[in-house]
Structure 1
Amino acid sequence: MFSETAGRNAEVSWLVSSRVSGGKFARSILDLIGETPLVRITAEGGRPVVVAKAEFANPTGSHKDRIYACMIEEAERRGNLKPGKVIIEGSTGNAGTACAMIGGLKGYRVIIVMPEGMSDERKKLIRAMGAEIIFTPGGESDQDLSLRRIEAMVAEEPDRYWYPCQFDNPDNPLAHYRSTAPELWEQTRGNIDVFLAAVGSGGTLTGVGRYLKERRPGIKLYAVEPEECPTLSSRRWGPHDIQGIGDGFVPANLALDLVDGVITVSSQEAIGKSRRVCREQGLVVGISTGCNLAAAAKLARRHPSLGVIATMLFDTGHKYYSSPLFGVHKSVEVPERDHRLDDLSVRQLDKYAPGWEIIT
């Protein structure tokens, strides 16, 4: 009996290894990050044409898998992240899930610090990946409180933690420069007039935008932000329901010198667009994706002569069952405090914002 089982196992082992070597099997779930499809959003014959990268096809269902694979692997290569270190990161959901999955697979303990007002699905997924969660007050636009908590913990025990800090880690935009952008360029054969993306960490717009502009300087880049929290266009803070973007500050990873314009989208516009694209095209996407698509529609109305507008389907809508996207509203206590922009952000906005087109 034992020899028969061993023989079958050997046969299966040979079959798998031979197929893997032939490129038919992924050796690891990490091999499935990237190479996402490009989806046409506009109806046939519609102008401008809107296309979007289906980032929900990544293992944890969002584009954040790309950046954590890159940030963690680069930190290991440099010797900054070693066995025994604890990875601690701030997130409002997608980043935390990606960090938990990739960090856990590599054998690290992972702690995610996040605002308590985020969707239940995000929290459950992060815990399912084996990570711990520390909650801070507020919602999406109170992410700065999570970051302060992390900074205090790291300052107290600097040898214990490795802090990726997606908002200012240059390996974040590098991930998109190396993978997302070349994929998009190849899929469109370079036929892009505008790339737009909602701003969370700033890595997507910066990484993709830099790559595209190096190849065709005439390509325009538009940052997208919540109408209720127009930090870039109006330097104002406010709570909103577009989870994953609009954190109430200008991230260091957002290269303002690359930006040509800013488009604001309200929470209701974003939610409505997510619902509509699900109904009309079968794409179950999150609220930040609805924000991108609503922004693309606004840009198309403002500039109907454009040829191709490219954007991102950031994540799957399956992470939002307990959110306003599915009609669930919960009260989030937002702490009262001063929301002043830092001096560097003010100087950068003073320098670049006057040249931007603002679309509301």
Structure 2
Amino acid sequence: MDAHDSLLELIGNTPLVRLRAPGGGDGAPVYAKLEYLSAGGSVKDRIGLRMIEEAERSGALRPGGTVVEATSGNTGAGLAMVAAAKGYRAVVVLPDKSSAEKIATLRAYGAEVVVRPGGLPQHDPEHVVNVAERIAAGTPGGWFAGQYGNPANPEAHYLTTGPEIWRQTDGRVTHLVSCVGTGGTISGTGRFLKESSGGRVRVIGADPTASVYSGGDGRPYFVEAAGRFRHPETAEDVWPDSYHQEVVDQLLPVPDREALHTIRRLAREEGLLVGGSSGTAVAAALRVAAGLGPQELVVVILPDSGRQYLSKYFNDEWMLQHGFLDGDPAAPRVGDAVPAAERERPLPYLHHRATVAQALAALRERAAAGAAPVLPAGPAPVAPGRQPTVPELAGTATLDRLAAAAPADPLADHLDPPLPRLGTGRDAAAALAELEDSGAPLAVVVHDGHGVALIGPDGLRTLLAPNAGNAPGSSGR
């Protein structure tokens, strides 16, 4: 019989497939390693199995025990799948930005899912890692997997992913491109390939533009399971032990928009339905390949399936709402009402833990400058020049309401509901109808996931008025 004794035997051994360069480039060929074809649907299956097996060997995890982990989803799914196959209970702590599909997958495996706010500093007791550690410590037989510091994470890729790529390319691989999240994939795979090639293979990390790994300011971004967010209140940003920086030769930052449009192209033009971090990796790999000759060979790791992101990255309405789609250039769009210079500046935000006095000072400054004395408030402090992601809105601060409040009061006690959000690519007429129906005086204009302006019904009416001097598409969006 051609069969397996256990699902665990189907982890890894994923295929390589050649990608078509957009426009038919003359650079090096790019081969994608399709990790979503592993048994559990992601590259994290490998570390889920390895970490559990190492914990069994060491005695840290015993029969009837509970596997506990903090994750954005894929590692949790890998651990939950292995735990189910081996008879363990699983508890997974996720940030609230994780997709609904990931949460549903975990529950399907029988895992208990604990959702906590994302975007918290590392020292916050409610940070997902701290919550998971407490659960493990307070659970009889509990074991905290700790992918960020567990040596079995990079070791899994040194023992499996690297050798597979070397064998599949017959040792011809010259460049490896991978996202950096916990750092385990790129560290373990890259180390094996460098050792096997005598140092010939170059290792390139693909990273969201905002991620601190590649020099970004650490603000929130939209590609899940890649990069590193750094909260402004973080006193010391301790990077994962599983990330071995000496293995990586270069880091390439990739904007969210480029990553998300890349995965949509891969699905529609190559039949590859992959997640957002795959878009980050492929965008970087294509850049690398374009500067190489045909005798070189690039391998890029695609970590997971796009089926986990159908409600987000492959949903046109979601993409429009967050300003990642440009809409119809033949009709007026929301972005056409925002001056070009204003679109390049981040919209100021207030910290919801500020005092009324601090908020009033900011609102009065806006009023004196002729701007609307209204500001969104977010659940995290925002340094000058930084743009928080719009889903973090906690409410709206208005001059009229705060003027009657005690100056020392917390701003959070005097907030109006969050303002509606309108992506720059939204049809202006439909956006006006939506704003009027909401009854809100203003909306936040969103481009590439970040607030760039405030707009009211009058601004949209002016754009839509005949001979208003705003030609559709004039914004270039």
Which amino acid letter does the alignment assign opposite residue 101 of structure 2?
Answer: E
> How far apart, CA to CA, are the structure 2 residues paired with 1:56 and 1:88?
23
Structure with larger RCO (C-alpha < 8 A, sep 6+) = 1
Q: In structure 1, what is the equivalent of residue 246 of structure 2?
A: 257
Question: How far apart are residue 112 of structure 1 and its match?
Answer: 0.3
Contact 2:180 2:205 in 1 (8 A): yes
> How far apart, CA to CA, are the structure 2 residues paired with 1:209 and 1:235?
23
> How far apart, CA to CA, are the structure 1 residues paired with 2:240 and 2:128?
14
> How far apart, CA to CA, are the structure 2 residues paired with 1:59 and 1:90?
21
Superimposed CA distance per residue, residues 8-48 of structure 1 (whole angstroms, 9 cap, x where no aligned partner): xxxxxxxxxxx1xxxx1011111111111111113588421
Which among 44, 52, 57 is matched to residue 77 of structure 1?
Answer: 57
Q: In structure 2, what is the equivalent of residue 10 of structure 1?
A: none
> How far apart, CA to CA, are the structure 1 residues paired with 2:66 and 2:60?
12
Superimposed CA distance per residue, residues 169-212 of structure 1 (whole angstroms, 9 cap, x where no aligned partner): 11111111111111100000111111111111111101101101
> How far apart, CA to CA, are the structure 2 residues paired with 1:140 and 1:199?
20
Which among 220, 223, 227 is matched to residue 202 of structure 2?
Answer: 220
Which amino acid letter does the alignment assign opposite residue 268 of structure 2?
Answer: R
Which among 91, 97, 119 is matched to residue 111 of structure 1?
Answer: 91
Which amino acid letter does the alignment assign opposite residue 14 of structure 2?
Answer: T
Mean Cα displacement is larger for which, 41-50 or 138-147?
Answer: 138-147
Which amino acid letter does the alignment assign opposite residue 311 of structure 2?
Answer: S
Contact 2:27 2:291 in 1 (8 A): no
The 1:139/1:50 distance shift into structure 2, 3 A limit, reads farther
Unpaired runs of 5+ residues, structure 2, are: 230-236, 323-376, 384-477
The 1:26/1:142 distance shift into structure 2, 3 A limit, reads farther
Which amino acid letter does the alignment assign opposite residue 92 of structure 2?
Answer: I
Contact 2:26 2:293 in 1 (8 A): no
Q: In structure 2, what is the equivalent of residue 279 of structure 1?
A: 268
> Superposed, which structure 2 residues align to 1:1-360 within 5 Å?
19=1, 24-42=2-20, 46-138=26-118, 145-155=127-137, 157=138, 160-216=141-197, 217-229=199-211, 231-234=212-215, 236-248=217-229, 250-303=239-292, 307-327=296-316, 328=318, 335-336=379-380
User: Counterpart of 2:160 in 1: which secondary structure?
Assistant: helix
The 1:291/1:183 distance shift into structure 2, 3 A limit, reads same
Which amino acid letter does the alignment assign opposite residue 151 of structure 1?
Answer: E
Question: How far apart are residue 324 of structure 1 and its match?
Answer: 2.9
> How far apart, CA to CA, are the structure 1 residues paired with 2:19 and 2:46?
23
Question: How far apart are residue 159 of structure 1 and its match?
Answer: 5.3
User: Counterpart of 1:325 in 2: which secondary structure?
Assistant: coil
Contact 1:117 1:140 in 2 (8 A): no
User: Counterpart of 1:151 in 2: which secondary structure?
Assistant: helix
Question: How far apart are residue 323 of structure 1 and its match?
Answer: 1.3
Which amino acid letter does the alignment assign opposite residue 202 of structure 2?
Answer: K
Contact 1:140 1:240 in 2 (8 A): no
Contact 1:289 1:314 in 2 (8 A): yes
Report the aligned-residue RMSD. 2.5
Identity among equivalent positions (%) equals: 37
> How far apart, CA to CA, are the structure 1 residues paired with 2:312 and 2:277?
12
Which amino acid letter does the alignment assign opposite residue 123 of structure 1?
Answer: I
Contact 1:166 1:201 in 2 (8 A): yes
Contact 2:56 2:62 in 1 (8 A): yes
Which amino acid letter does the alignment assign opposite residue 241 of structure 2?
Answer: A
> How far apart, CA to CA, are the structure 1 residues paired with 2:18 and 2:122?
34
Superimposed CA distance per residue, residues 319-360 of structure 1 (whole angstroms, 9 cap, x where no aligned partner): 1112133232689x9741599xxxxxxxxxxxxxxxxxxxxx
Mean Cα displacement is larger for which, 296-305 or 100-109?
Answer: 296-305
TM-score by length of 2: 0.62
Contact 1:119 1:320 in 2 (8 A): yes
Mean Cα displacement is larger for which, 190-199 or 294-303?
Answer: 294-303
Question: How far apart are residue 238 of structure 1 and its match?
Answer: 1.1
> How far apart, CA to CA, are the structure 2 residues paired with 1:336 and 1:304?
46
Which amino acid letter does the alignment assign opposite residue 178 of structure 1?
Answer: L
> How far apart, CA to CA, are the structure 1 residues paired with 2:382 and 2:246?
27
Question: How far apart are residue 102 of structure 1 and its match?
Answer: 0.7
TM-score by length of 1: 0.81
> How far apart, CA to CA, are the structure 2 residues paired with 1:314 and 1:143?
29
> How far apart, CA to CA, are the structure 1 residues paired with 2:93 and 2:62?
21
Contact 1:86 1:109 in 2 (8 A): yes
> How far apart, CA to CA, are the structure 2 residues paired with 1:334 and 1:256?
33
The 1:189/1:181 distance shift into structure 2, 3 A limit, reads same
The 1:129/1:140 distance shift into structure 2, 3 A limit, reads farther
Superimposed CA distance per residue, residues 198-234 of structure 1 (whole angstroms, 9 cap, x where no aligned partner): 11111110110110111120211111110122x1222
Question: How far apart are residue 311 of structure 1 and its match?
Answer: 1.1
> How far apart, CA to CA, are the structure 2 residues paired with 1:143 and 1:92?
18
Superimposed CA distance per residue, residues 289-346 of structure 1 (whole angstroms, 9 cap, x where no aligned partner): 1111001112233445771111112111111112133232689x9741599xxxxxxx
User: Counterpart of 1:324 in 2: which secondary structure?
Assistant: coil
Contact 1:39 1:51 in 2 (8 A): yes
